[in-house]
Chains A and B, each alone.
Chain A
Amino acid sequence: MIERSHHDMGGLRAGKVKRTEHDYADWERRVDAMVQLLRFDGKMTVDELRKNIEALPPHAYDAMSYYEKWVTSLAQTLLQRGVVTTDELAKKMVEVEKRGRR
C-alpha cells in the first residue's frame, strides 16, 4: 500500500488532461519567491520542500492547490530546520488574523 508513494504517479490510470491555467495570485508568487530566495541563500533545499509535500496525506495532496502545498511544506521545512518554532507560528498567525490584513 505504501510501496508506491502517492506522489509517484507515472503510469497510473487517470482522466483527460484539463488544460487549465491561471494567472498566479500575488500570495502564490510570494510563496514561490520565498522558496527561491531561501534556496539561493542555502537556508533550505528543494529536496526538503519535495519531501514535505510528498509527506502530505493522499487526500490533502490531491485536494490542495499547488501553492497551498508549497506554503505548507515551506512551514514544515522551516520547523524541521529550527528556523521557526510552532509557538512562533501560532503567535504570529493569531496576530495577523487580528489585523485582518490581506
Chain B
Amino acid sequence: MVDARFKPGAKVKVRKAFPLGHVRTPFYVRGLTGTIERLCGTFPNPEELAQMRDGLPEQPLYRVRFRQKDVWPDYRGSAKDVVEVEIFQHWLEPA
C-alpha cells in the first residue's frame, strides 16, 4: 500500500499528461488545480488491472473538488458551483 500524501483541503494539481491505455482521470481536469475533498481509501490501480496485472500496491484515491468557473471558460452558472471527481494519487501533485 502507498501512503496518502494529501489531506482534505490541500490544493492539488492534476498532471497534464495524455498517455494511452485505460485512464480514469477525465480529460477535462488534466492540468487543473482543485482541492482535496476527502480520501476515499486505497484501491488497486485500474490502469494496471485493465492490462491484466494486479494493480498492486493499492493507490490512494481522492475526491478532488474543482470550481466550475475554473474548469470551463464559458461557465454560466453560480460561481459557487463545483464538480467533484475521483482521482488517484499518482495523477496529483501539490499545487
Contacts and interface: CB of A to CB of B under 8 A. Distances in A.
Q: Assess A/B contact in the complex (Cβ within 8 A).
A: yes
A47 B46 CA distance: 6
A51 B50 contact: yes
B50 A10 contact: no
A20 interface: no
A86 interface: no
Q: Bin the interface of chain B by size.
A: 10 to 19
Interface stretch (B22-30, B33-41, B57-65, B86-94): B22-30
Given A4-B27, A11-B28, A11-B72, A80 B52 contact: yes
Given A8-B26, A10-B26, A10-B28, A3 B52 contact: no
B50 to A, nearest CB: 4
Interface residues of A, number: 15
B18 A3 contact: yes
Contacts, number: 38
Interface string A71-102: 00000000011000000000000000000000
A45 B23 CA distance: 15
B49 A48 contact: yes
Given A3-B18, A51-B22, A8 B27 contact: yes
Contact of A81 (B20, B21, B49, B52): B52
Given A45-B49, A45-B52, A47-B55, 15 more contacts: A4-B18, A4-B27, A5-B23, A5-B27, A8-B26, A8-B27, A10-B26, A10-B28, A11-B27, A11-B28, A11-B71, A45-B50, A47-B22, A50-B46, A50-B50
Interface of B: 18, 20-23, 26-28, 46, 49-52, 55, 71-72
